[in-house]
Amino acid sequence: MQENKIALVTGASRGIGAAIAKTLARDGFDIWLNYRSNDEQANKVKAEIESLGAVCLLLKFDVANYAETEKALSPLLEKQTPFAVINNAGFRRDTLLVWMKQEEWKDVISVTLDGYFNVTKTVLPFMLRNRQGRIINIASAAAHHGAPGQGNYSAAKAGLVGATRSLAFEVAKRNVLVNAVSPGYIETEMLEGLPMEQIVKNIPLGKAGKPEDIAEITAFLASEKAGYITGQVFQVNGGIF
């Protein structure tokens, strides 16, 4: 009996990450579910994944910390290699640059960019050895257009887009495909505090998206159907940009 492929999803205890993990489980992946602190929510997602018939391994570590990341993943990688890595972990700390504290800048950059580096750097050698793999980075519409108060978040996500394109060149010959998905306004906790009534008026489809909208294109990029796609950024935003 052939074993299921494994997908490692970071920041997957809620929101877009949880939707991605559940959708990949539906499509036949076993899940390595990373989260940082919310045990209750992570266990809830685990139960939902297992109800789909998939295996779910909870991995509690801070992706921004290289030592934690390596300690959590290295023993597992000696036995199994994820076919797909979805770098989803990220968060916002919005404020105008003139008032932004150094830690508000560094924390947002670190979780997104250091998190991408730490996780990808740890898993990539094993993917290259196997000559197969998918790395899918969850960016943001903020990577492509400015937004007041989001200088840190926009910089982090724009950096992730650049990193995606560069890595795609580096690993294509080993059949490791690297792409990014840039969500627009998606119904998650990330929208808290935003003037959504006004924002929705400017979205051509007239509504915010759902986490499943991002999960479905991510699942496609992790599938065999996307075997000739690499170095691309897919914007899922209802037409706003």
* Tens digit of each residue's pLDDT (9 = 90 or more) over 148-191: 888 889 999 999 999 999 999 999 999 999 999 999 989 887 77
Q: Name the band, by pLDDT with cuts 50, 70 and 90, for residue 2.
A: low
Rounded-to-integer distance, Cα 46 and Cα 58, Å? 7
Q: Is 228 a catalytic residue?
A: no
Q: Which CATH superfamily is domain 6-236 in?
A: NAD(P)-binding Rossmann-like Domain (3.40.50.720)
Give the global pTM.
0.94
* DSSP state at residue 213: H
Residue type, 125: P
Name which of 101, 192, 196, 193 is nearest 152 in CA terms.
101
**CA-based torsion, 9, 15, 16, 18: positive or negative:** positive
Across the range 136-155, mean pLDDT stands at 89
β pairing state of 56-60 and 30-35: parallel
Give per-residue pLDDT as tens, 185-231: 898 877 777 777 888 888 999 998 999 999 999 999 999 999 999 99
Candidate list 35, 153, 185, 228, residue with the active-site label? 153
What percent of the chain is predicted at pLDDT more than 70?
99
Question: CA torsion 8→81→233→27, rounded to 10°?
Answer: -60
The predicted structure's pLDDT at residue 85? 98
